[in-house]
Amino acid sequence: MAQWNNLDTLQAYQAMKKENYSVNLTEAMAGEAGARRVAEYQVPMAAGLAYNYAAKQVDGKVLEQLCALAKECCLAEKFEELYNGAVINTGEKRLVLHQLTRGQLGNDVVCDGVNKRAFYLEQQKKIADFARKVHSGEIVNEKGEKFRTVVQIGIGGSDLGPRAMYLALENWAKKNNFFKMEAKFISNVDPDDAAGVLNGTDPEKAIFVLVSKSGTTLETLTNEAFVKDALKNKGLDASKHMIAVTSETSPLASSSDYLAAFFMDDYIGGRYSSTSAVGGAVLSLAFGPEIFERFLQGAAAEDKLSAETDPMKNPAMLDALIGVYERNILGYPATAVLPYSQALSRFPAHLQQVDMESNGKSVNRFGEPVGYPTGPVIFGEPGTNGQHSFYQLLHQGTDTVPLQFVGFRKSQIETDVDIQGSTSQQKLCANVAAQIMAFACGKEDENRNKFFAGNRPSSIIVGDQLTPEALGALLSHFENKVMFQGFLWNLNSFDQEGVQLGKVLAKRVLAHDTDGALKAYSDLLNI
């Protein structure tokens, strides 16, 4: 079995820390040498994507050190243990099986007497059958009319991932005649969220997906009650308009309040659940189960690459190693995720949860404090919007922030206009190329306001077009990158105790069990 050790005990890390070496990008990316780097510093991904790290502060020497670190940390062996069913989630003493929702990487995983791959496939089939019946009109509303809208009610991983995936494929599905139903999402317990969605929805023709693993999530149940009340006020039977995605042991599993129930389990964390029933129900209803299956195939293909033992052939592992190098050797505190695709407008928000909820830890997997920085702050917006927002700090601020661009050669709609000798898509792609070089090489100027130091690192995941397969591969890449970084930092990336304390205190406030400053803040907010 692989040994689990803190990053700062590893010889490869200690050697890198002592040397503190990095590449000067303003020199490395200049001229023909820079052109050769762009061609050479690239790793193929699934679905025609590629991870290009030419504008990172690495060279052959650093990459050799990172490969030694990967070997000493047993990254490949740890992933193999994970997908073969080891108890990797030490905090909750659970397996970690989200990769199993999209493919079989290793041995059969049998837990609680159940073959888990077979279980996930069974749920996918149930969802597919249900979605087809909704689309064909076999399952209809009380008036015998087809449902036209699906509304997901959930929070955290039950919202961020599925919402980001839906938005990523909405226009593609419309263009390619796969669009079945509009999807909307209610997540915030703020009543304005649910009211805003309902005000723009015909409830008679809407089917609601309640997502809660435990069946007890306060925000989700509150929003469910809000929706049920709205349906009742319209004279509608809520049980004819709602389905549940939950665990088999939750109170929702066998309730007569729902048309159907589809199951997940404790071995898939919320932020990793887009390829489970949590994403499967809403995406299958919106686009059809065939499109959801294509999304899963893209994720499965990228998972296979993540099982590659050589970091130079494993894009997620290499991305993770470079990220740890930037965080722990070069001392960079944050990472910006910058998709040059409007379809990925909510992808950075999803990655904020995937990354910061997973690796925002200050103790290792054994509960012992670590003496080195762990997960970076993740933020981002789609380009070119971000250029007119926070890029000023990225270019000329006092902190260096590594950048992860995502770009596609073609738009999803492929409807465009030529203005001043170039199309909109060409202008978008030109901005990606320009930003990578501007960050890397900067600009000399005697006027310090116009001086750009450069030497600011970035990578880009590039592909032809954002398809279901490409989206699945992109999702898997970042999930597995975060996993490998957790292995390097010796963290448990699969629990989230940091979200619990606030929930406990909120319940005290609602029960009026408060004193001191907590009572004062409660009074201030008129609770």
State the pLDDT at residue 46. Answer: 98
Band (pLDDT 50/70/90 cuts) for residue 129 is very high
Give the separation between CA 487 and CA 484, rounded to whole angstroms.
5
**222 preceded by cis ω (within 30°)?**
no
Q: Is the pLDDT of residue 276 over 90?
A: yes
Q: Which two tokens stand for residue 48?
A: 């025609």
> What's the pLDDT tens digit per position in 377-389?
999 999 999 999 9
Tell how far CA 504 is from the center of its chain: 26
State the pLDDT at residue 500. Answer: 85
State the pLDDT at residue 414. Answer: 81
Band (pLDDT 50/70/90 cuts) for residue 254 is confident
State the pLDDT at residue 503. Answer: 86
Q: Is 367 left (phi over 0), alpha (psi -120 to 50) or beta?
A: left
Lowest mean pLDDT among 37-46, 57-66, 473-482, 506-515: 506-515
Task: Count Cβ neighbours within 10 Å for each residue of 407-424 and write b for 16 or more, e otherwise.
Answer: bbeebbeeeeeeeeeeee
- Between helix 60-72 and helix 75-83 the angle, nearest 10°, is 50
Lowest mean pLDDT among 52-56, 141-145, 315-319, 498-502: 498-502
Active-site hit among 174, 234, 304, 388: 388
Q: Is the pLDDT of residue 518 over 90?
A: yes
State the pLDDT at residue 140. Answer: 96
Closest C-alpha to 155, from 306, 278, 291, 50 = 278
> What's the pLDDT tens digit per position in 184-210?
999 999 999 999 999 999 999 999 999
Neighbours of 36 (CB within 10 A): 12
State the pLDDT at residue 415. Answer: 85
Q: Which secondary structure element, helix H or strand E, spans residue 23, and what is its range?
A: none
Q: Which two tokens stand for residue 232?
A: 């009742």
Percent of the chain with pLDDT over 70: 100
Active-site hit among 232, 450, 503, 507: 503
The answer to whether 355 touches 375, Cβ cutoff 8 Å, is yes
Percent of the chain with pLDDT over 90: 95
| Span 212-216, average pLDDT | 90
Q: Is the pLDDT of residue 499 over 90?
A: no
| Span 348-364, average pLDDT | 98
DSSP 8-state class, residue 499: G
Q: Is the pLDDT of residue 424 over 90?
A: yes
- Helix/strand/coil percent split, the chain, to 5: 50, 15, 35
- Residue 503 annotated in active site: yes
- Residue 80 annotated in active site: no
State the pLDDT at residue 498. Answer: 87
Band (pLDDT 50/70/90 cuts) for residue 216 is confident
> What's the pLDDT tens digit per position in 56-66?
999 999 999 99
Q: Which residues contact 270 (CB under 8 A, 6 or more apart)?
A: 156, 157, 158, 213, 278
pTM of the entire predicted model: 0.97
Q: Is the pLDDT of residue 521 over 90?
A: yes
- Residue 122 annotated in active site: no
| Span 364-371, average pLDDT | 97
State the pLDDT at residue 1. Answer: 83
Band (pLDDT 50/70/90 cuts) for residue 287 is very high
Mean pLDDT over all residues of the chain?
96
Give the separation between CA 120 and CA 227, rounded to whole angstroms.
29
Lowest mean pLDDT among 131-140, 211-220, 304-313, 428-437: 211-220
| Span 445-463, average pLDDT | 97
Active-site hit among 219, 357, 381, 469: 357
Give the separation between CA 347 and CA 103, rounded to whole angstroms.
23
